[in-house]
Amino acid sequence: MVYYSHSKPPCRFPGTTMNERGFTMNPPGDAHGMQKRHSGAVRSAQQVRRPAMRIRYFHSNPIATKEFKKHVSGRKQIMMIELGREKRQTIRSICEASEEVLVRGAVEGTVGRVWVPKLENSSYCLILVGDYAYLTGLPPKGRLSLELKSQIYQCASHAYLIPQDELWADWIEEEFMGQIRKVSRYALKKSEHHFDMGVLKQYISSIPKGIHMRQLDGPLYRQAFKQPWSHNLCMNFEDENHFIEKGFGYGALKGKELVAGCSACGASEGIVEVQVSTRKDYRRQGLALACSAAFLLECLGKNLIPNWSAVNLQSVGLAEKLGYVYDREYQVYQIKGEL
């Protein structure tokens, strides 16, 4: 089974199907996926799916623009293959050097979606987990590069593009010349020796009067998933049963209403990725600190390493209060505008 955000169905070009193994395939008898697609009805659907706005992302590179126009409007439209959860052992060698929790979780089939150019011996892959798209392996060239670019536009244009190394950073900057922005993120060192259990318990006991905390369960999962501010606490899991099986978290409630939370937005063997959210009208009351403290105590009790990647300096400050130690700033990429 392929995991994806509830609001985003598996993406594929019109005329393709998803077979029982989780692979995107062309129709039977249509090896190149084109003969039948040039009927008037299908061509009209494709024209709607391929807005001219997509081409403007390459205006700074005339050669890339010409090649990309040929690719998206030509006679041969081949998308990458999406791997189901059971097929992801084929990318273990590509991703074995990655220390990213969400990449490891995707390889293990816990979270996310994965695309490869071919079923066997792929040299690279695209991994999408929530708002993060990871590029791993060796960057492609020529037609394969155009196909990967198309896949990013189709399914990951909203996401932060995270390169595995400098080769991928160069690929992103060249292929999306003039149409990306760099965004800073901050890595923090994590070790059980950094956390003071007494301090964490004090944070939990210091929540304001009228607020109580409890572990995230099925009803709180459903409540969090419906709200834009808390959607990211659980969006990487297929449903509430999958969240309860593979993830966990703590929420702060005002009555029965969830107002803050900290959860595992992704998990791999022995390590989890931390996600924290607070409703705007309940910020600066220590709720994120208390929920995070409860979450960390749970991690320590289960011998799990909680990985914290900060999106801004405020998040860095919160992590340092909990016991994390600042490590470094690094860059990710974001496509400008919307398709």
Full DSSP string of 69-122: HHHHHSS---PPEEEPGGGGGGGHHHHTT---HHHHHHHTTSS-EEEESSSSS-
Beta-carbon-side half-sphere exposure of residue 268 (alpha carbons within 13 Å):
18
pTM of the model: 0.73
Q: Which residues of 74-87 are buried (b: 16+ CB within 10 A; e: fewer)?
A: eeebbbbbbbbbeb
Task: Give the per-residue pLDDT at 267.
Answer: 85
- Helical H runs in 7-61? 40-49
- 267 φ, ψ (degrees, to nearest 5): -145, 145
Question: What 3-state class would DSSP assign to 57?
Answer: helix
Task: Give the per-residue pLDDT at 269.
Answer: 84
Residue 90 and residue 119 in contact, taking contact as beta carbons nearer than 8 Å: yes
pLDDT along the chain (339 residues), means of 10: 39 42 42 37 35 36 46 54 92 92 93 94 95 96 95 93 96 94 92 86 96 95 94 89 91 97 91 95 97 96 93 95 95 79
Task: Give the per-residue pLDDT at 77.
Answer: 52
Task: Give the per-residue pLDDT at 214.
Answer: 96
Beta bridge partners of 274: 264
Residue 154 and residue 49 in contact, taking contact as beta carbons nearer than 8 Å: no
CB within 8 Å of 62: residues ≥ 6 apart:
none
